[in-house]
Structure 1
Amino acid sequence: MPEDPLFTRWRRLFPVVDPATVKRCFDGLRRAYTEPHRHYHTLDHIQACLRHLDEVPGELEDPRAVELALWYHDIVYQIGNADSEADSARRAVVELRQLGETPDMTAKVRALILHTRHPSQPDCHDAALLVDIDLAILGAAPALYDQYEAWIRQEYKDIPWPQYCAGRRRVLQGFLSDVFIYQTDKFRNERESTARANIERALACLTEPEGSNRGK
């Protein structure tokens, strides 16, 4: 039976580490990203992030650190947790130590993960690209963006619609209030205008009753 391509990619990050440890950590990642309350923050999101990473191979100072941060940046995702990013960073540090990573690498990955809090002020180009990759969905084609909004609502399905609308509006307006949504020229050129149009459309939908024909 062919090996899971996602596991193959993960395994190649740790060529000299005990295979059982590599597999155990991957299985933990898989369990986390397939938790039943997740609809967007899943392995599909991680795979999409990795595809975007592969499009910028020469633009990163430490591509391995960025890749490890992408793998772990949403490993903890609980509705109502005010700082899932910090919890994700802590788990990343623990597991990367088990995988033999140096203190310098674990510190880099921790700092990168913390930049995925939004809003964020990246302090280096690697962090800026990481944040843009995480937010790439905002500038996706309208149909995919609308599906993303539906997935986010599913993750927050236990929140009453008026309360959800108020919170979601704050998040989306926060993106629009910045001079740029994206931090790097690549993402600004490719996705900025589409992201702003998507968000404006989503905000208009958040004024409608739940269950109306959104995304039209």
Structure 2
Amino acid sequence: MTVDLSARWHQLTAPLVPNAARREAEFQRLAAAYQASTRHYHTLHHIENLLHRLDAVHLQDRTVVELAVWFHDAVYNALKSDNEARSAAQALAFLQHSALEPARQQRVAFLIGRTADHNQPQPPDDADLLYFLDADLSILGAPADDYWAYARQVRQEYRLVPDLLYRPGRRRVLAKMLAAPVLFQTPGMRDELDAAARRNLAAEIAAWEQGGL
């Protein structure tokens, strides 16, 4: 998978950063972050899944959206609240001397920032943003076995948090998503994933109410 992702990264960034060594150094930095021992769900597999999801839809600015995919979890510490801001800063640092226009660089940072809270109101006419956010949440509507694997992987990422604290916090997050009138913003992903996502969320809430995963 890393080999395929490497080729994909260079295909995306070569028109923006002619220096192959600089591109490769950034890829290695990202790969190391996503393969860190503290990562269990927010890994290169997550990046691959998002790219695969977005391959199936029409994007107005695919370059910007794919850059946001690559960098959106570049910094991930389950105990911190500034991951998105720091991930956006890493993206901007890489793009600062690239051929990508400043406005599009800021657009990458904006997309990353919106992943901090999927429940916040989203601009209804920003199709690229909505596709990006729906792809990021698509695991919620996965087949049950895949969803439970995801739930356990997230718990591993919070392994320093005792069950006494994790259980009510996780339950609140799940309940907030389940209560949202709209989970997926784009019609295609809503039709495909909404019903399964709500079943999965309700099942995990029930599991935590009965003692845990």
Matches within 5 A, 1:8-157: 8-16=7-15, 17-56=18-57, 58=58, 60-118=59-117, 119-123=119-123, 124-157=126-159
**Residue 187 (str. 1) matches residue 189 (str. 2):** yes
- Contact 1:22–1:99 (8 Å) recurs in 2: no
Partner letter of residue 72 of structure 1?
Answer: F
How many residues align structurally? 207
Distance 1:84 1:121 in 2: 20
CA distance in 2, matches of 1:130, 1:5: 21
2 CA distance for matches of 1:120 and 1:91? 24
Q: What's the CA shift for 1:15?
A: 2.6
- Give the percent of matched residue pairs that are identical in Structure 1 and Structure 2: 36
Return the offset for 1:82: 1.1
| SS across alignment from 2:74 | coil
Q: Is the CA contact (8 Å cut-off) linking 1:21 and 1:98 kept in structure 2?
A: no
Distance of 1:83 and 1:197 partners within structure 2: 30
CA distance in 1, matches of 2:128, 2:14: 24
TM-score computed with the length of structure 1 as normaliser: 0.92
Q: Measure the CA separation in 2 of the matches of 1:209 and 1:65.
A: 42
CA contact (8 A) 2:111 2:129 kept: yes
State how far apart, in whole Å, the 1-side matches of 2:161 and 2:79 are: 10
Deviation (angstroms), 1:89: 0.8
Secondary structure of 1:206's counterpart equals: helix
**Structure 1 stretches lacking a partner, 5+ long:** none
Q: TM-score, normalised by structure 2?
A: 0.93
